[in-house]
Structure 1
């Protein structure tokens, strides 16, 4: 059965391409958000991919570690967003869950997301540098691979400038590798991406973005999922590839 067309997504696709980000509210109902949170709360938190501190609780390889969330996340409505904005060939390449507690002092300065997760480390031209986090290989790939990726951030709480909403530099994604220390604030502007519970933020990984500390004693829980339709060189594979079809 064909998925329903929901007005506005073509405009969202244009905004994502032009500015490097876009926000779509009300993708999930309050009940759907609660079902996702219930599945997360049932997860085994003792694994290496779970990071726990006073400032953040994070789950890397989220869809793999908490598989019960998959059908709850990929509803007909989200699939319609993905299809209309990205097309039919995109698949998941990375997933992370972030929980910034009510008293978090976790601050993330301006940066671009410059690495992808792969299954092994091999020497490849134009791939590098390499890093390893929690037994997961990550590498900076050629710029065209990064430009192809689209991220969807699913907001499980109301998020604004007081509890860690992302701040972005619009259009910075078109400037290739853009070092934060070279930002010219006389020319650039900053936008705070406030998103309601159940809404999503779409962004290009090359957009400069940052996140502030929590100041209003409210949690900020977000599921971060990256998508691509690009195949990697045969020597390596996407570490977290999940096909949606």
Structure 2
């Protein structure tokens, strides 16, 4: 088992050059984002995001953490705001709703089908959080409980108990850094002292082969 598979996260410094970060900042500067959800299909809305997502270097980076043929599941752009409760990301997006054993529950939002897949799908996913702004005690940051994903999916009560009994780490990053995390590692966003927000471009990848006829939305 690799260090990433065991820990559930990795901090990569300086993945995006500042010239590229500044181009993204400038292009997105006037874009209003709903604080809670942000833009959930940012690659389909912003050409500069599509250009970045198409970079083969990012795909090769994702392939380091996955097995099988890697595909992009979803691209999100959002302003990171405090989330008081520990949680796991446990849903994926598909182009249609079908009856598949061990997939569910389902729900639809803005015409997109969300579903909780089996744990083996989440274990073959990685989320690359591209930091467009620094994340620190002033601006806010992500807090993670390493190795928590190895417990599998937990109920709210199990999450609360796990968080009480396990140590967390604070992920301070600079603009241009990448946090690679398993979606179901326990995490939450902590508010900074300045009360300001920071933008994150999040790309979800998966190496799981979907059944015939299904595609990532």
1:39 pairs with 27, 31, 47, which one?
27
1:218 pairs with 173, 191, 196, which one?
196
Residue aligned with 1:138, SS: strand
CA distance in 1, matches of 2:196, 2:30: 22
- Does 2:48 align with 1:72? no
Residue aligned with 1:174, SS: helix
C-alpha contact 2:90 2:122 (8 A) present in aligned 1: yes
Q: Residue in 2 aligned with 1:118?
A: 94
How far off its partner does 1:179 sit?
2.7
For structure 2, the 5+ residue unaligned runs are none
Matches within 5 A, 1:219-238: 219-238=197-216
Structure 1 residues 185 and 59: alpha-carbon distance in aligned structure 2, compared to 1, 3 A threshold: closer
How far off its partner does 1:107 sit?
2.5
Q: Residue in 1 aligned with 2:17?
A: 29
Residue aligned with 2:85, SS: strand
2:78 pairs with 98, 108, 132, which one?
98
1:89 pairs with 69, 78, 99, which one?
69
Deviates more, 1:184-193 or 1:169-178: 184-193
Deviates more, 1:172-181 or 1:199-208: 172-181
Q: Residue in 2 aligned with 1:198?
A: 176
How far off its partner does 1:62 sit?
1.3
CA distance in 2, matches of 1:57, 1:192: 23
How far off its partner does 1:98 sit?
0.9
Q: Deviation per CA, 1:58-85, whole angstroms, max 9, x where unpaired?
A: 1011111223323235546534433444
C-alpha contact 2:10 2:181 (8 A) present in aligned 1: yes
C-alpha contact 1:27 1:77 (8 A) present in aligned 2: no
CA distance in 2, matches of 1:231, 1:89: 7
Q: Residue in 2 aligned with 1:134?
A: 110
Q: Residue in 1 aligned with 2:121?
A: 145
Cα RMSD (Å): 2.5
CA distance in 2, matches of 1:132, 1:213: 30
- The count of residues paired between Structure 1 and Structure 2 equals 215
How far off its partner does 1:185 sit?
4.6
- Does 2:149 align with 1:160? no
C-alpha contact 2:141 2:191 (8 A) present in aligned 1: no
Structure 1 residues 84 and 143: alpha-carbon distance in aligned structure 2, compared to 1, 3 A threshold: closer
CA distance in 2, matches of 1:24, 1:74: 19
For structure 1, the 5+ residue unaligned runs are 1-12, 46-50, 240-245
Residue aligned with 1:237, SS: coil
CA distance in 2, matches of 1:70, 1:31: 17
